[in-house]
Chains A and B, each alone.
Chain A
């Protein structure tokens, strides 16, 4: 269970939050159809730092943004909606997944 730093309330367990998908998806209706389809449906799936939105639904109710390393699940930053994405370097060597002991994704 993640420990998520809400920018308004401080660190709280993941139970109190709901994920709200990618952050920094710009809603600009004045674009052509292919660009609008990108806005609606196309998301990258980064191995490494991902900016994602969370809502502190069982707390202050606010939406905010988090930078999370998808390899280690380490949370590198959290910031209020509307603020620019902070420039945070990825810790560790290129964010490689531990090869031994976390190899397969198939439940036994």
Chain B
């Protein structure tokens, strides 16, 4: 027996396969095909949690994705613990462990329920009001100190695990002719018509089983087959025709140009997850045509105490009965504004549930359901209403009154343990609206329906406002055929259908009870009542978007699937306006919550962002290098010897390099080969410098501006031949510079014959710097005369080193005699090893980026992005001499004459000499006096600051207004411990004459 309320037969569950599970530690038994919700109902469990704010006892309202109350946590282990799952969508498996949320100590006895008594303090916007509460200590309000921590603890949903998610998630891009979202009658018919026409078709459905409402239609037939058999036959044919069938797959987002995102659950329903299986898969589908067949959701009725366990949507009760074979109660009262609820009443009566009363709120109802119920002898009250319920942890009775003249005392209490309600059906237009289609309000049926589609898309069936199986099937078939471009669809022979619109109501039911004492819930998940919405309007909110945010209606994890239309109608009534005048809040992705894992896919940990390593990385690591992140690159930061910290290692590396030599992995430098008959002219136009007269074999330091005239990159450019340049860029700037070059080459100077190739990854670079640098490289180099006369500073030669090809630069970023050895990346490790052995033998060192920075700062060399900030001109840096204003044009030239760029008082690069041993903070502000009054304008800021092992003092570079004219003045750097005095000096601290470079 899989639950005492399970019917002996009927439904789509397999009673021969019982499944054991626990809920809040109690053991229960369900069966294969159950959801957690249906299994608990089969065991008579209605109370499944506490509400968000008032901690009111709650049960199941719905049977599908729209469920607002029944949220639970499912735990496989500590890390595989997922909160806030809708129990109506959790598939049962053997050994499932679930627990309720938001109650303590137990869901049957919850201390938080005191909030229900405090509710006069907790009405709409109560937290906004507490924001404005009295001031407390040191300017914080009572909100921050008292209310927020308490409310945070008391309110809320489930608790996420602290452990990292051990599962992995898959991602797939897919393309198709026709994507059908929703596998009910309309969706199946659409997919079948499309597939028969030869279209590549994808069909997805949120449920474990395709079929939608057809799975709850035991009495209907389609084309002579029972509905369920037609579903099976259709799925079989779709599979045969090669359609992609995706059950357990929620179409949750509809984006531009028919791009639809689907979340597929792969393993959550399995008792044992296969090792390595992805848990979920994100499908990113680009469809030529989309058919939306997303159905409709029943609306609750809004009356006092409409939230007790046992109060349920009528259609949900029918689903539990006919799909899962579960009797959700023994004595039911039905209150309805729609004919569909009569079907539920009849089905329940046939299953042996006593129908205590059917209360129809409509004054003059009509419809096939009503007629059938009367024929079956069920008690019907026309023009009635429900003004309240009795019971605590389960509904025990309904207060039935006449809809007109509803005095508080004018009711009769009808005993029941199941109260079913139907306010009519709301088409699920979420995806349509996300696709930017305009909704139109249908005044006759009081519904928002899809208007003209904004993309290649069609809505069919209940989501388009149609009613009944035949209409859904025929519309689906027509839309599927049209989407596949093959003319008309076919019509279906249906028996047991329920046609007709059936009525419906929006807003709250009238009642004569004291509104201060009763709660009629609109949004069950966020505990928003009809009273809250009216209060918001009374307090002056006019826009529905503001009412929504103030009351939080529709802002819970269910996004108001069951509540939005009722809250709109209540707000419209309070505002005295029509629904279309009030408007509709925006439908946002995702339709139902999607896990972060699904979005992240494989992009986590090491794969979140690619890590780039140079070919010398492993050798540097073996030499003990510590690494730093520079963009995506790992760069050797410093090479500590035993007992050394960063400071000590850098000081040693600098001294050794300046005294002997050091080698440095500069492979991350950006490299672009510029080739073609117009290469020199192209560089003339992209760099400030003049290139035409640069002889092959020579190098020049190039400065690149953006069009507004500011420095955007720099680097050494070597000319290999008349038509070939080897351009280097900053490490971080390589992609930006290439994009900038391509942009001008393609769009501004397309007449130039030039080809650009990134060779950053192809050439590894080993800098050998220091007075002994020539001695280190000389024995390894073939075919290049290394003498100072033959190979001067700023020259480039091609030859061989260690037997492999090299482009050997004579350049320096340290101020010492230096070479930069470019070799094909595959040979870099061997060349590094050979150079290192010679360096070590001579008493030199390997150095990292930190020592490189110190040495270049000692020499006053700028780093773009450190000494510049996007508003820095060449002249600001003291590099005005690099600008060949005689050239007719180059990018940024026109802007260098802009008034602001030639105005006096610009910040200029200077050095700062500091007494004492304090290294300034980079970014610190500079002021003219030691203790400036608050509001004093800073005259500049520190751009680089280091301890200089060469000078034996701290050094700094700074941008200071009129800096060069201030040479010799004292400026101040205010810090928390007091201002630090600094003397303005030139930016070059080491070998200003440059003798060492040319050795």
Contact = CB atoms under 8 A, between A and B. Distances in A.
Interface of A: 1-3, 13-14, 18, 20, 27, 29, 33, 36-37, 40-41, 53, 55, 57, 61-63, 72-73, 75, 81-82, 98-104, 106-108
Contacts of B438: 98-101
Contacts of A107: 588
Given A1-B259, A20-B743, A82-B747, A100 B448 contact: yes
B586 A13 contact: no
B193 to A, nearest CB: 25
Contacts of B437: 98, 101
B545 A63 contact: no
B895 A3 contact: no
Contact of A1 (B256, B433, B454, B895): B256
Contacts of A13: 173, 259, 286
B898 A103 contact: no
Contacts of B436: 72-73, 98, 102
A27 B895 CA distance: 12
Contacts of A40: 707-708, 895
Interface in B729-749: 739, 742-743, 746-748
Contact of B586 (A36, A55, A63, A102): A102
B548 interface: yes
A41 B708 CA distance: 9
B126 interface: no
B613 interface: no
A47 to B, nearest CB: 15
B578 to A, nearest CB: 13
Given A1-B255, A13-B286, A100-B583, A55 B743 contact: yes
Contacts of B258: 3
A98 B583 contact: no
Interface string B282-314: 001010000000000000000000000000000
14 contacts: A1-B257, A1-B259, A14-B256, A29-B894, A33-B897, A36-B894, A41-B708, A98-B438, A101-B584, A101-B586, A103-B583, A103-B584, A103-B585, A104-B545
Nearest to A18: B739
A53 B746 CA distance: 12
Contacts of B898: 33, 36-37
B899 A101 contact: no
A37 B901 CA distance: 12
A23 to B, nearest CB: 9
B853 interface: no
A108 B746 contact: no
Interface string B410-432: 00000000000000000001000
Q: Which of A3, A36, A75, A101 has the most CB of B within 10 A?
A: A101
Given A61-B742, A104-B545, A36 B259 contact: no
A73 B586 contact: no
Q: Which of A41, A98, A100, A107 has the most CB of B within 10 A?
A: A100
Given A2-B256, A40-B708, A101-B439, A33 B583 contact: no
Interface in B582-637: 583-588
Nearest to B448: A100
B585 A104 contact: yes
A63 B286 CA distance: 24
A29 B433 contact: no
B750 A100 contact: no
B506 to A, nearest CB: 16
Interface residue tally of chain B, by bracket?
35 or more
Contacts of B707: 27, 40
A102 B432 CA distance: 11
A107 B438 CA distance: 19
Contacts of A102: 433, 436, 586
B775 interface: no
Contacts of A37: 898
A108 B257 contact: no
B804 interface: no
A75 B256 CA distance: 10
Contact of A81 (B429, B746, B897): B746
B545 A103 contact: yes
Given A2-B256, A36-B895, A73-B256, A81 B545 contact: no
Q: Which of B258, B439, B746 has the most CB of A within 10 A?
A: B746
A98 B433 CA distance: 9
A34 B750 CA distance: 27
Contacts of A57: 739
A63 B587 CA distance: 35
Contacts of B9: none
A95 to B, nearest CB: 12
B648 interface: no
B127 to A, nearest CB: 15
Contacts of B440: 100
B889 interface: yes
A90 to B, nearest CB: 14
A103 B587 CA distance: 10
A58 B758 CA distance: 14
B828 to A, nearest CB: 27
B439 A108 contact: no
Given A81-B746, A101-B438, A102-B436, A73 B585 contact: no
Nearest to A105: B586
Contacts of B441: 100
A65 B176 CA distance: 27
Contact of A104 (B173, B429, B586, B747): B586
B856 interface: no
Nearest to A3: B257
B172 interface: no
Given A20-B743, A57-B739, A81-B750, A101 B255 contact: no
B56 interface: no
B372 interface: no
Contacts of B897: 33
A33 B899 contact: yes
B646 interface: no
Nearest to B891: A27
A100 B580 CA distance: 8
B586 A82 contact: no
Contact of B257 (A2, A29, A36): A2
A70 to B, nearest CB: 12
B940 to A, nearest CB: 25
B191 to A, nearest CB: 23
Interface in B539-557: 545, 548-549, 554-555
Contacts of A101: 429, 433, 437-439, 448, 584, 586-587
A27 B438 CA distance: 41
A40 B894 CA distance: 11
B603 to A, nearest CB: 13
A29 B256 contact: no
Contacts of B554: 108
Given A27-B707, A40-B895, A103-B545, 4 more contacts: A2-B256, A36-B895, A100-B438, A103-B585
B893 interface: yes
Contacts of A41: 708
A38 B884 CA distance: 25
A106 to B, nearest CB: 7
B294 to A, nearest CB: 15
A68 to B, nearest CB: 10
Contacts of A20: 743
B584 A100 contact: yes
B583 A63 contact: no
A102 B746 CA distance: 39
Interface string B430-453: 000100111111000000100000
A1 to B, nearest CB: 5
Contact of B747 (A1, A63, A103): A63
Contacts of B454: 72, 98
A28 to B, nearest CB: 9
Q: Which of B438, B587, B889 has the most CB of A within 10 A?
A: B438
A60 to B, nearest CB: 11
